Chains A and B, each alone.
Chain A
Amino acid sequence: MKRNLWYVVGGLMLLAFAGFSLMSFQQSLTPYVSFEQATTSPRMVQVMGGLQKGSADYSNSEKALSFTILEPKSAKQLRVRYHGVRPGNFDDAISIVAIGRYDEGTKQFEASKLLVKCPSKYQGAEVKTYS
Chain B
Amino acid sequence: MNALTHLYLPGAVAIWSALIFALAAVWGYSQALRGDATAIAFGRRAYACFAAAIGLTALMLILVLLMRDFRIEYVFQYSGLDLPGHYQFASFWAGQKGSFLIWLFWGTMLGLAVQRTAGKSEASVMVIYLATLLGLIFILVRENPFVMLSQSPLDGQGLNPLLQDDWMVIHPPIMFIGYASTAIPFAFAMASLWRRDYDGWAARAFPWALFGFLVLGCAILMGGYWAYKTLGWGGFWGWDPVENASLIPWLCLTVLVHGLHMERTRKRYRRANYVIASMVYLSVLYGTFLTRSGVLADFSVHSFVDLGISGWLIALMATFVGLSIWLLATRLRKVPTESNEDPILSRGTFLVLATIAISASAFVITYGTSAPLLTRLQANVAQVGPEWYNLVNKPIAIVVGMLLTFLPYLTWKGDKFGDLIKKMIVPLIAGTLIAIAFVAWKVHDALDVVLVLFAATALATNLHKTIAKWRAGGLRAAGGYLAHAGVGMMLLGILASSAYDESTKLTLVQGKPVTSHGRTYTFTRYLPPTEEERRDRMEIKVVEANGKTFSLYPRMFLNQRTQQLMVNPDIRKSLSADLYISPIQYDPGQPQLALTKGQQGEVGNVQVKFEGFDLNANGNALAQMASGKQITIGTIFAVTRNGQTTQVRPVYKLNPTNGQVETPAVDLPGGGAIRVSKINASGGNVEIELAGVENRATLAVDVTTKPLIEMVWFGLYLMLGGGGLAMALRFRDSRVLERVAEQRAAAA
Q: Show the binding face of A for B, using Cβ within 8 Å.
A: 2-3, 6, 10, 14, 17, 20-21, 24-25, 28-33, 37, 44, 46, 48, 54-55, 57-61, 63, 65, 83-86, 88-92, 97, 99, 113, 115-118, 120-131
Contacts and interface: CB of A to CB of B under 8 A. Distances in A.
Contacts of B344: 2-3, 6
Contact of B304 (A54, A57, A118, A124): A124
Contacts of B702: 84-85
Contact of A88 (B162, B364, B378, B391): B162
Contact of A130 (B161, B233, B587, B698): B233
8 contacts: A2-B344, A21-B392, A29-B384, A32-B298, A54-B594, A85-B234, A88-B567, A126-B160
A17 B360 contact: yes
Contact of A99 (B95, B385, B583): B385
Contact of A58 (B566, B567, B700): B700
Interface of B: 77, 94-96, 157, 160-163, 227, 231-235, 237-238, 240, 242, 298-305, 307, 341, 344, 353, 356, 360, 364, 367-368, 371, 375, 378-388, 391-392, 395, 505, 507, 562-567, 582-585, 587, 594, 596, 599-602, 607, 698, 700, 702
A53 to B, nearest CB: 11
B380 A31 contact: yes
A64 B232 CA distance: 17
A84 B301 CA distance: 16
B162, B305, B386, B395 interface centre (most CB from chain A within 10 Å)? B162
Q: Which 9 A-B pairs have the closest CB atoms?
A: A128-B301, A31-B380, A28-B388, A31-B382, A29-B382, A130-B235, A58-B585, A63-B505, A130-B238
B94 A124 contact: yes
A29 to B, nearest CB: 4
A74 B360 CA distance: 43
B381 A14 contact: no
B567 A85 contact: yes
| A interface secondary structure, majority | mixed
A120 B383 CA distance: 23
A30 B382 contact: yes
Given A113-B385, A121-B157, A123-B305, A88 B564 contact: yes
B137 to A, nearest CB: 22
Nearest to B235: A130
Contact of A31 (B240, B303, B375, B392): B375
Contacts of B567: 85-86, 88
Given A30-B385, A129-B233, 4 more contacts: A29-B371, A92-B564, A124-B95, A124-B96
Contact of B162 (A2, A37, A55, A126): A126
B585 A61 contact: no
Nearest to A89: B564
Contacts of B304: 123-124
Nearest to A90: B565
B360 A14 contact: yes
Given A92-B563, A121-B77, A129-B233, A59 B302 contact: no
B176 to A, nearest CB: 14
A83 to B, nearest CB: 8
A86 B505 CA distance: 13
A25 B384 contact: yes
A129 B564 CA distance: 16
Contacts of B563: 91-92
A96 B533 CA distance: 32
A3 B345 CA distance: 11
A108 to B, nearest CB: 13
Nearest to A64: B505
A131 B700 contact: no
Contacts of B566: 88
Q: Which of A63, A83, A117, A124 gathers most chain B CB within 10 Å?
A: A124
Given A29-B375, A33-B380, A60-B698, A127 B386 contact: no
A129 B232 CA distance: 8
Contact of A115 (B301, B356, B599): B301
Contacts of B583: 85
A32 B380 contact: yes
B364 A128 contact: no
Contacts of B587: 60
A58 B585 CA distance: 7
Contacts of A44: 385
A123 to B, nearest CB: 6
Contacts of B161: 88
B505 A126 contact: no
Contacts of B160: 122, 124-126
B703 to A, nearest CB: 12
Contacts of B237: 130
A98 to B, nearest CB: 12
Nearest to B93: A124
Contacts of B607: 61
Contact of A63 (B371, B385, B507, B600): B507
Contacts of B157: 121
Nearest to A5: B344
A16 B94 CA distance: 43
Contacts of B385: 28, 30, 44, 99, 113
A3 B507 contact: no
Given A88-B565, A97-B298, A117 B380 contact: no
Contacts of A127: 162, 301
B288 to A, nearest CB: 14
Contacts of B379: 31
B60 to A, nearest CB: 22
A10 B585 CA distance: 53
Contact of B356 (A14, A33, A57, A65): A14
A59 to B, nearest CB: 7
Contact of B584 (A29, A57, A58, A116): A58
Contacts of B585: 58, 60, 65, 86
